[in-house]
Amino acid sequence: MYSIGQLSKATGVKVPTIRYYEQVGVLASAGRTDGNQRRYDQDGVERLGFIKHARDLGFSIEAITALIDLQQHPDRSCADASAIAKHQLADVQEKLRRLSALEAELIRISDGCDGDGVSGQCYVLASLADHKHCRTDH
Amino acid sequence: MYSIGQLSKATGVKVPTIRYYEQVGVLASAGRTDGNQRRYDQDGVERLGFIKHARDLGFSIEAITALIDLQQHPDRSCADASAIAKHQLADVQEKLRRLSALEAELIRISDGCDGDGVSGQCYVLASLADHKHCRTDH
DNA sequence: CTTGAACCTCTAGTGACTAGAGGTTGTAGA
DNA sequence: TCTACAACCTCTAGTCACTAGAGGTTCAAG
């Protein structure tokens, strides 16, 4: 059996975050000692590992709750799990697309000023003040 | 003179967001009518345009406040503006790096399951449960 | 002068935590 | 068995950048 601190070390998830996960219902409530402290078994370690891995991949708590629910019913269709993963992929790809445009613009802006001038002539400030400088849309 | 609604249309920033910007101090307080309604001049349009453009590029409100402060002093060195832009670029590039790794992993996970099986055999769920499936670190 | 769209302030909610206060429990060493 | 004290407990509030809604006031057209 693990205390919450030991579970935290085992999974790399901070103690208050574990309590938060329990509070919002993504992590099932742990058993308690007589003194009301949480105790976890190996199963608990695995469930939290699943959550951490999914969070690291950017899945929302809501999506993870749905995925865990599916995991609990091995006989159900996995169409939903597939859809959630594809949705998350689309989300990440959209963010990549947007960030690439931002990167291009920021490189242009950054390159225009090496910081040895004066604000009045600063290309960074001028670029931000006037969208027309921009090469991409964002 | 523009009312807050007209300023909103002119800049594409929502009315409550304009009030929020004023509240947190990134947008200077507007003049008021006798009836206490905000009124903006062309200068106000430009300042909000600057904020919007910078927000679209992902700069934090705090960074934008610093940039506007620099803009107000055209004789000051623009080293700080340059540093803020470079920092923002580094930030975006870090996010891009991370998201690219996530994308690769999510493609792998998504490709492993087309949603016509059963949860117990689902590659999506199996991958999330076990980090060992992963090709990249994240 | 009336109508109603647009304005005002204030509070609370979002997501996913993080920080801190104030109190209790578990466990190692004496 | 007692004593420290680290680790635990709950609860509230704060983070960021807004967004939503309540309840009341002002502006401008007809």
| Token pair for A115 | 């910081």
Checking if the pLDDT of A130 tops 90, the result is: no
- The burial of A61, by beta-carbon neighbours within 10 Å (0-12 exposed, 13-18 middle, 19 or more buried), is given as middle
pLDDT score, position B115: 87
Q: How far is the CA of B45 from the C1' of C4 (A)?
A: 27
Structure tokens at B39: 């009124």
The interface predicted TM-score (ipTM) is 0.88
Give residue-wise pLDDT tens across range A61-75: 999 999 999 999 999
Contacts of B96 in chain A (CB under 8 A): 96, 99-100, 103
Give, for all 138 residues of chain B, the pLDDT tens digit.
999 999 999 999 999 999 999 999 999 999 999 999 999 999 999 999 999 999 999 999 999 999 999 999 999 999 999 999 999 999 999 999 999 999 999 999 999 998 899 999 999 999 999 877 777 777
Q: Does B131 touch chain A (CB under 8 A)?
A: yes
Question: Which chain B residues are Cβ-neighbours of A50 within 8 angstroms?
Answer: 128-129
Contact between B113 and A65 under an 8 Å Cβ cutoff? The reply is no
CATH 1.10.1660.10 at B4-71, yes or no: yes
Q: Which residues of B touch A125 (CB under 8 A)?
A: 67, 70-71, 78, 81
Domain ranges of chain A: 4-71, 79-133
Q: Do B119 and A70 touch (CB under 8 A)?
A: yes
